[in-house]
Every structure is written in C-alpha cells, then in structure tokens.
Amino acid sequence: MSNEITLGRVRPAPTRKEVVAVVLGAAVEFFDFSAYATFALMIGNVFFPSDTPFMSLLLSVSVFGIGFIVRPLGAIFIGSYADRAGRKPAMLLTMVLMTLGTGGLVFLPGYATIGVAAPVLLVIIRMIQGLAWGGEAGPATTFIMEAAPKGKRAFFTSWQIVAQGIAGITAGLIGYSLTVFLTHDQLASGGWRVPFAFGLLVLPIALYLRRNLHENFTQEDRAASKNTKTLLTDVAKNHGRLVLLGIFMLSGSTITQYFLNYMTTYALNELHFAPSTAMVSTILIGVCVVVFSLTGGWMADRFGRKVTIIAPRLLLLLLLLPGLEIINTWRSDAVFFSVITVLAALQCISGSGVLVVLCENFPKAIRSTGFSIAYAFGITLFGGTAQIVFSWLIKLTNNPVSPGYYLIAANILCLVSVMLIKAPSRAPIALSMNAGNG
C-alpha cells in the first residue's frame, strides 16, 4: 500500500486487515437497519397492534424513518469529532451507541406487555441507532478512502457499500432460516428478535477490532483542523454547493436501494409470496450489492467516476417501470428474482461512483464533516421517507407499480446533480506536504 508524506515524515498507510475491521464494524451497524426493514411487518404487529394490517405496517416503517431523522445530528457531532480527534475514536463511539440501540430491540417488551410505553421506547431506541449510523458513515468512509493505494480509491471506498451488502445477506439468511424452522406465530411473537440478538453478540467483536486500528488522521492533521463550530462554518461557507449537490446526487441512489431493500415487504404484501421466498430476495440483493459495488468501484477507477455513475443509471431509468410491470404480471419467483437482480446490478455499479466522488471532493481537514453532513441529510431526506412513500403510494393508487414513478423522478434528480459535480476521472492519493489535503 502507498504511504502519505506529511511534514517530512512517511506516514504508514493502514493495512488491509484494518480496512476489513472498519468494513466489519460498518456491516454490523447496518445489519440492524437491514433486519428492521426485513421484519418491519412483524415489528409493527408487536409494537403497533391494529385491526388494519396496513396501519401497523405504516407505523412500523415510520419508526424506521425516525431513525433517520437524528442521522444529521450524528453526522454533525460525530463527523466533526472525527476531523478533530481522529477517525478511530469516532468509529469507536458509534459502535458503543449501536450496541445500546440493538440491545434495546432484543429486550424491549411489546405493546401487549407495557402498553404505550413500548412504541415510545422503540422510538428512542431507533433514535440512538440513527445517531450512531449518522456518525459512522463519515469516519468509516473517509478512513477507507484515505487508506487506498494509488489509483484504487473508488474500489476501496466501494467496500463501505459492500458492508451494507454483507449485512443484507446475513439478515436475509437469518430471516430465511427463521421462516423455515419457526411457525408464523413463533416468528411473529418473538422469533423476529433473533437477528438483533445475533447483532448484539457480534458488536463486541467489531468493537475490539476497531480498538486496534492504526489512526491515519495524525497529530498534524488534528492541528490543521478546527473546533466543531468552525468546521461547520467552513463546510457551509466554502463547500455548501458541494453538500447540496451531494444530497441531490444521493436521491436516486438512496431511494432505489431502499426500494430494493423493501422487496421483502413488497413480495409479502403485494405479490403474496411465501415468507421464505420473500426472505430470499433480501439475500439476493445483498449478494448483488457485494458483487456489483466492487465492480462499480473498479470501473470508476478504470473508466472514470461520471461515466460509471451515469451509464448504468440511465439504463436503470429505462428498465424500472417495465421491470415492475413484469413482476406484477407474471408473479413468478424466477421472474421476480431475475428482475431485481438486473435492477440491483445497475444501482450498485452506479452507487459506488456516487460515494467516492462525493467523499474525495472534500479537503481532508473537513472531509469527515462535509461528507457526513451530505450523506446523512441525503439518506434522511430520501432513505428515511422511502418506505413510507412506497407504502402510501401503493395504498393511494391501489397500483403496486406506482413507486416506480417516484424512483424515476429521484434518479433524474441524481443524474442532473452528477453532471454538475466535479469528478476527476482518476484520483490517486495525493502525495502532499500539506496535511490539509489528501
């Protein structure tokens, strides 16, 4: 791996083992969100019992969205903390917060046991987890990108998305196993808590691995950085346009990915597939995220950022509505899996470029703060509301294809933003005497 020259000294780059430790930690944190999306229907029945199944589901996905509302706070305070104290302490803090939130989901009684206190406490738990993930994305992504060898920034950064795929695969495998070995009543009454218990067991391992990270944000970098207020002022004053473009650029990528994550609920509610079949879709999408995010990262390094973002997303735009029409017309397992594989492949190839081009455009001294804010607000505005909008559109129109129009609008906004953002075709790690760049 390459080294970075700082103030006359060679700074050893983090090892691949350390990058794996960061990716594992991110995977464990995202696993919780993936598990919640997978079991949203059952969680809704436990904490929001209603005579109308749709109302239970809507309240459940609304609480899922609440976890996103506090993400910008995590981005502001933990993201800026990473630009002041270093990437490592910020990532350790997010792991502690996520452990608290996941533990709450394992042990929190339902509405039938403690009444209205159950949904209230569930909201608080989701807020803690949202704070953790809002603070995680910036330090983890910048750590991985800054650890990249020359000419491989996009490929390395794509591992942050791979972490999400690993989480989805794990959540899907556990969900599928539960649908096979437990009855529907057993799964609905308490079996849905098993994935969160698994996450709670793995979190201490990830925390231990992160404690041994080599900090690539050195004392010289800290000296060049500022307090939180000054960092935020710098980002707003000098990089406000980049933040806004980043937020809009994330619209299509985020909404499309959360629609793919929503496929488990979609398969159950709209296509009326068996629970085991619906859970397979979670596994399949996770595999697609791993494979095609790495493909997209490699392509972004090889062919340039913009072409790797724009070409697959244009094709995605053309296939969204026909794909949804096909799976609703045929209602076949094979057709359903084939369509979501194609859509997921195009989404993930493009998504890798989106992530790296946003991260690398911020100067190193404010990179975690700037990227965290853009990423958190983008995910909050578009990801936090996605499942609510999908459920509402289907209910309003009585048309299971209706979310496709929302996806098209978001992806057009994404493409326009990509065309306006600066994107070097190849961006190796800068060998600079200035610690503020990189």
**In the chain, what are the domains?**
14-213+226-420 (1.20.1250.20)
pLDDT bucket at 436, cuts 50 / 70 / 90: very low
What lies within 8 Å, CB to CB, of 78 at 6+ separation is 90, 93, 94, 131, 134, 135, 136, 138, 139, 372
Q: What angle do CA 206, 99, 217 make, to 5 degrees?
A: 50
Q: Is the pLDDT of residue 426 over 50?
A: no
| C-alpha dihedral, 340 to 153 to 355 to 166, nearest 10° | 50
Check residue 108 and give its pLDDT.
87
Q: Is the pLDDT of residue 182 over 60?
A: yes
- Please tell me which residue, 424 or 18, carries the higher pLDDT value: 18
What spatial distance separates the first Cα and last Cα of the chain, rounded to whole Å? 15
Identity at 155, one-letter amino acid code: F
> For the residues 219-226, what does the mean pLDDT come to?
53
Q: Is the pLDDT of residue 113 over 60?
A: yes
Q: Is the pLDDT of residue 4 over 60?
A: no
> For the residues 195-211, what does the mean pLDDT come to?
80
Report for 13-27, 228-242, 271-285, 319-333: range of highest mean pLDDT: 319-333
pLDDT bucket at 63, cuts 50 / 70 / 90: confident
Check residue 11 and give its pLDDT.
47
Which of these, 91, 208, 221, 179, lies nearest to 143 by C-alpha position?
91
* pLDDT tens digits, one per residue of 42-53: 887 888 777 666
> For the residues 284-290, what does the mean pLDDT come to?
92
> For the residues 209-225, what does the mean pLDDT come to?
61
Check residue 10 and give its pLDDT.
44
- pTM as predicted: 0.80
Check residue 216 and give its pLDDT.
60
Check residue 70 and give its pLDDT.
84
Check residue 15 and give its pLDDT.
64
pLDDT bucket at 330, cuts 50 / 70 / 90: very high
> For the residues 19-26, what does the mean pLDDT come to?
79
> For the residues 357-361, what does the mean pLDDT come to?
89
* C-alpha torsion sign, points 151, 152, 154, 157: negative
Report for 4-13, 333-342, 418-427: range of highest mean pLDDT: 333-342
In terms of DSSP bridges, do strands 9-11 and 4-6 run parallel, antiparallel, or are they unpaired? antiparallel
